[in-house]
Structure 1
């Protein structure tokens, strides 16, 4: 079965958290851009798309990042590290997003204006913590989608939440409205990933 013919379930089960990468394997910027672009079809609260990305391919920068990411080897050996950020001021793009919705024929002008008005009434007045939680949740949706797309294209990934977020924000000079959420190493596996068990359905779900 080739990658192109694999179905979603196969990709889901074949995707593993890979921590050993071939450091000689290099992805192109175009390949990385395509994966992120495809992943942006993920849903988000009010379609405000609060995710932002820093794609780190430079070897010297990855070495710096490793020092603030608990010395995790995959930071340096992977082809790239995709830092997934959240934008707590996601509502500031509402006019751009919903104007484009009208241009693409997804809604009419009246619905656009109602949505923009509702967004301006709600989001700017929500506590910062609430807006950060929204952005973090939406970042989780696009991160999972990104990893599945990467696997479908023949690449391996692992997510990393264990890094110094304060130092990351300082090193990459994030504006106040943006904050780091997770790092995703991506590249080609140099060794098989460990398998992992899952709790049985009766331990995690109630049917009422």
Structure 2
């Protein structure tokens, strides 16, 4: 994998990150670089490597107009960003288990007997989950990829804003996805900042941690 990192300083990437709401409208991210960033973000961990995250990149004016009434209080991000990345969790991610594990075997990262054991054990286990349980699983995994995407974006020289305020029941169908299969997790705006994000404080670790 090649990278286009402009900043590889971990301390700055992590602690310099702020949620940006206004971007340079003239800056458009190429499909090549967007795919590169998403590929890098999906090195995030997922339950039994089923990778349930799915991305829809909204970049055209027509599609942004369609998104606008669904995002409540985040219209500046929609209007000015290079793109709005819709992140969904796939409730049927285990349908791709054979493909995923076959690729691992082919790449020499998993013995075939382990692949067979995984398929035999994991697919029926996932099939037994309630819709709510499955939703919880894919939302956790997709959120890990979303956080990684925000850090990767900074490494490429862009800023982001994670957005949770949107019409959850309408988002998937509005962009051609089956709402019974794809659960909306988050929207991430991305682009070159015009206005810096607001600094904020965090609670002390001692206040939110207990040792047993």
Compute the TM-score of the two structures, normalised by the length of structure 1.
Answer: 0.95
1:206 to 183, 207, 210: 210
Aligned to 1:9: 11
Matched-pair contact (CA < 8 Å) for 2:59–2:83: yes
Compute the TM-score of the two structures, normalised by the length of structure 2.
Answer: 0.93
Structure 1: gaps of 5 or more residues: none
Structure 2: gaps of 5 or more residues: none
Task: Count residues with an aligned counterpart.
Answer: 206
Matched-pair contact (CA < 8 Å) for 2:126–2:134: yes
Q: Label 1:168 to 1:5 Cα distance change in 2 as closer, same or farther (>3 A).
A: closer
User: Following superposition, which runs of at least 4 residues in structure 1 exceed 4 angstroms of deviation?
Assistant: none
Instruction: Give the SS at the match of 1:173.
Output: coil
Aligned residue runs from structure 1 range 63-74, under 5 A: 63-72=65-74, 73-74=76-77
1:190 to 177, 182, 194: 194
Q: CA RMSD in A?
A: 1.2
1:59 to 58, 61, 72: 61
Instruction: Give the SS at the match of 2:201.
Output: coil
- Cα shift at 1:64: 1.8
Aligned to 1:162: 165
Alpha-carbon distance in structure 2 between the residues aligned to 1:168 and 1:56: 12
2:36 to 34, 57, 61: 34
Instruction: Give the SS at the match of 1:190.
Output: strand
